[in-house]
Structure 1
């Protein structure tokens, strides 16, 4: 850590313990079980003792670092810079009545472009994978977030606006079509008619984009998967604001319901029975903040956002063709058979959403 970063950390700790200045002792870092996704980003728990006015005050916080462009790829540096800018702008200080981000205690940008955020440590009051109650509470609160920001200008240059391409992956469509059209016997045995439906969905991605672009837009987290969703003191706390930007109502609900199952942050057998209840919960939160919002837009936004994720079926088909055991990243102990059951249910939910979108 550079001298400037060490000075910034001392100021962050002083802010965290509500003192004008502190001297740090016994500073330690613990690695966290965090889905860093790419190299050159790290999230650790940093803690120690602060000396202030004769008092010894224990402290802890989360340190999130993203290396500069000399090491990290542009995708990663863009994300790190975006979250840094979101905190610096003040946007994350007043998101919605029941949604907040971790408090920022301090930040630093080093000479090589490395960014550091020192954030409040959040403890989740629920279970993981997410249970039904937590999913419904988060759905309601995400609706409130959408209602608070719907219709407001969201044109800051650092905001993320490429979320449709990130999910629909147009550069991968040709290979995806080839995978589902091969009709490999092992794949057909597991997916059957789903392959034809997946092919139609890939070809219909321009129509899905059109539906999403026509919907009312609001502020979206764009990665509200279970691993980033915490329940704390009766509110939803969302971490990892690296993809924050405009998006249609219902988009974050798709992350919560569909992407969480894909990653292993929730079970398809929990999500499937409460899907309609989750839509209603999101719509209720939306209406509390914006009574004039069209509730039908919630379902359209959810379905179309789920339909963007066509690569789910292709990835499962590709794995079956190669003889790989299906995996969900957040559940390394899950058996291949358990993962396959979950993913097949999720594919069915997604294809049903796509049918409603394109009807």
Structure 2
């Protein structure tokens, strides 16, 4: 049986058995509050904080039947970047705790339930603490140190449901506006013309042209168990531990790939000013190396640097998307407020220029480490 919740449409069904498993006995109907998440992702039916008495766990429902755009569709392939059951498998396996000795962990799983319609309900610890979206820079840098220590120390055996070739498949699914990269008219849109740095068009066209080279380099670098969706909205400072949310993409990645994602994503959604990114990124990279050394990692640190720099390819699709949507209203993550279009374009343009510099560094560093040279620019 299910207990319907009063309130707005979109409230989740709450089977009595799940409620008893999580809350035990309680009086009165539970209160349900929707939490910010990516509503486009086809694997997520919804995320809510459910309160009854003095307890308020988080309910996340995984699904394979949600209708969404092709680029975010759920997959039944366990190796696919958007395999719909992966997060349930990660929690059931205990992998969310594999980095705990380094101060990183996932929320505690209270219970998981297979529902008659085929969905999976994850009842998770409601983690108190400060989200990384509001952290000062020194806290982000400490997070980078913990990440290096965690990924240097942890040795995770492969599981059949961990993602493989995540980056290749993820960016391959994002095609919006690709034809605009070579369009003079698209690059002359006022917001783009006035707020993208000089030379960015040349750099982003080349990054797209070199995509396959970057992916081959990343796939040949030393491997690590990676979160693969590591950005400030998925990180909470919970006292002695840093808690990482949303393990839906977790799997095989290059050592350094998670940091290469975290740094630009700190700025893309306006959590860190773009002007501070170069110094912030340098300090965070040094901290990550410090953590790696403390973990006993003895590999060539230049390979980690190459992974961080080559990860710039993850965002080659973003330039095309911005060209396609330059005239649209801009919203913050979660869609709660409007963001100045000028600010949005200027900040993202500066991050893309930073990533272009990283891509150039990767092209220089890779041949020194035995990789083929990148294709010549167009």
The interval holding the TM-score normalised by the smaller chain is 0.7 to 0.9
The alpha-carbon deviation at position 91 of structure 1 amounts to 1.7
Give the direction of change, closer, same or farther, for the CA distance of 1:245–1:339 in structure 2 (3 Å limit).
Answer: same
Q: Partners in 2 of 1:265 and 1:82 — Cα distance?
A: 28
CA RMSD of aligned residues (A): 2.6
Task: Quickly say closer, same or farther: Cα 1:94–1:60, change in 2 above 3 A.
Answer: same
Matches of 1:31 and 1:244, distance apart in 2:
27
Query: Does residue 238 of structure 1 match 2:273?
Result: no
Which of 128, 149, 160 pairs up with 1:157?
160
- The TM-score normalised by the length of structure 2 is 0.81
**Equivalent residue number for residue 353 of structure 2:** 348
| Whole-Å separation in 2 of the counterparts to 1:107 and 1:171 | 32
8 A contact 1:65–1:115 mirrored in 2: yes
1:127 and 1:214, CA in 2 relative to 1: closer, same or farther beyond 3 A? closer
Q: Deviations over 1:118-162 (max 9, x none)?
A: 111112336634420221121111112211235x432x1111114
Tell me, which stretches of 5 or more residues in structure 1 are unaligned?
14-21, 50-57
Aligned length: 337
1:66/1:76 contact within 8 Å kept? no
Partner of 1:32: 34
Output the CA distance in 1 between the equivalents of 2:350 and 2:100. 33
In structure 2, runs of 5+ residues without a counterpart are 4-13, 77-81, 365-378
For 1:146, the equivalent position in structure 2 comes to 151
Partner of 1:67: 63
Q: CA deviation at 1:313?
A: 2.0
Aligned partners of 1:199 and 1:170: how far apart in 2?
Answer: 18
Whole-Å Cα distance in 2 between the matches of residues 217 and 255 of structure 1? Answer: 16
Deviations 1:273-322 (A, max 9, x none): 211100011111122223313322222111111223111222223333xx
Counterparts of 1:70 and 1:302, CA distance in 2: 34
**Residue of 286, 303, 328 corresponding to 1:297:** 303
Superposition pairs of residues 47-62 of structure 1, within 5 angstroms: 47-49=51-53, 58-62=54-58
Q: 2: distance between equivalents of 1:209 and 1:199?
A: 16
TM-score (norm 1): 0.85
Q: CA deviation at 1:357?
A: 1.3
CA distance in structure 2 between the partners assigned to 1:358 and 1:76 by the alignment: 34
1:226 aligns with 2:236: no
Deviation per residue, 1:331-357 (Å, 9 max, x gap): 734311221221111011110111111
Distance 1:269 1:33, change over 3 A: farther
